[in-house]
Amino acid sequence: MMPQTKEIQIQFSENGTDWIHPPPWVIFLIEFGYGWHHANLRQQRIAIISLPSGTPAAGLVALGALIRDLTSLETSDAIGYFEGLLRYTRQYLEKCRECTLRCHPEIRRCGYLREATGKVKDLLTRKIYYISEKSSPADRKLVLPIENGSWTIMSAERAKTLRIEDRPPITAVNDQGALSSDLYSAIIKDAPILSRNLRESFSGLALAGKSTGRRASEESYSSIHFRIGTTIHRLSELLRRYKSRY
């Protein structure tokens, strides 16, 4: 007889109240986000849900959508990441490297929102490199100078460990920072989470709002706690967001 896997229990608390089973409104918002599935469309689609700041509603919907994305083969920044590096390289070599207005895209009218400094960090070597002028985006060639005047051509697979400036890495090196499947599959029972997605970032889901409401939103996310099995997690922790001012 095969041993049965014990189901992980989940409990809910808001603002330090007693632990209870997640109430219907919490379940509704999470399942709404999970069920708000983006079908495989030929054209790109952008969908927006507007919710009040100062409440955890948006965060709970986002949590459900995050779990949904963990189940999809198409929700990973690794897909097309090398093309993004090549676009960054082109911007640096053709626009930003010689620009005298650093950095004022609104004055230069170059069509970009932020400067490309040409810096990338290799998460394997933990070193910062400047993209070499030997690079050729048109030929899909990304070149980094290394020690003693030599240089290396980065393959698309190897380039996954490169991090552009202050942007989040797309993959967890040696599983550092990887998500836990047990946590999210406990929230949405039987969600078919892909292990690859636990180690790779995805920027297709965003929480956005006015800066004036940001503090209230953050406080509301921190006020929500889930006890999953024997561990306790804030909603803000489960969302695992990269915070940007753009």
- Candidates 80, 79, 76; CA nearest to 202 is 76
Number of domains in the chain: 2
Show which of 103, 136, 164 is a domain's final residue.
Answer: 164
Please state, as a whole number, how many other Cβ atoms lie within 10 Å of the Cβ of residue 108: 16
Does 136 have pLDDT greater than 70?
yes
If DSSP codes are grouped into helix, strand and coil, which group holds residue 224?
Answer: strand
| Position 169 in a domain | no
Percent of the chain with pLDDT over 70: 85
Show which of 164, 187, 221 is a domain's final residue.
Answer: 164
| pLDDT per residue as tens digits for the range 216-225 | 888 899 999 9
Residue corresponding to tokens 């469309």: 41
Same domain, 67 and 185: yes
| Position 246 in a domain | no
Q: Does residue 51 or residue 94 have the better pLDDT?
A: 94
Residues spanned by the domain of 212 = 10-76+178-239
Q: What is the largest CA-CA distance in the chain?
A: 73
Give pTM, 2 decimals.
0.70
Q: How does residue 190 score in pLDDT terms, banded at 50, 70 and 90?
A: confident
| Position 231 in a domain | yes
Same domain, 47 and 72: yes
Q: Omega before 103 cis (within 30°)?
A: yes
| Position 64 in a domain | yes
Does 1 have pLDDT greater than 60?
no
Distance (Å) of CA 142 to CA 78, 149, 164: 16, 16, 13
Does 162 have pLDDT greater than 70?
yes
Same domain, 132 and 182: no
| Position 3 in a domain | no
Same domain, 118 and 142: yes
pLDDT at position 43 is 54
Same domain, 182 and 207: yes
- HEC string of 86-140? HHHHHHHHHHHCCCCCCCCHHHHCCCCCCCCCCEEEECCCCEEEECCCCCEHHHC
pLDDT at position 206 is 78
Does 202 have pLDDT greater than 50?
yes
| Position 47 in a domain | yes
| Position 173 in a domain | no
Contact at 8 Å (CB) between 62 and 206?
no
Same domain, 55 and 125: no
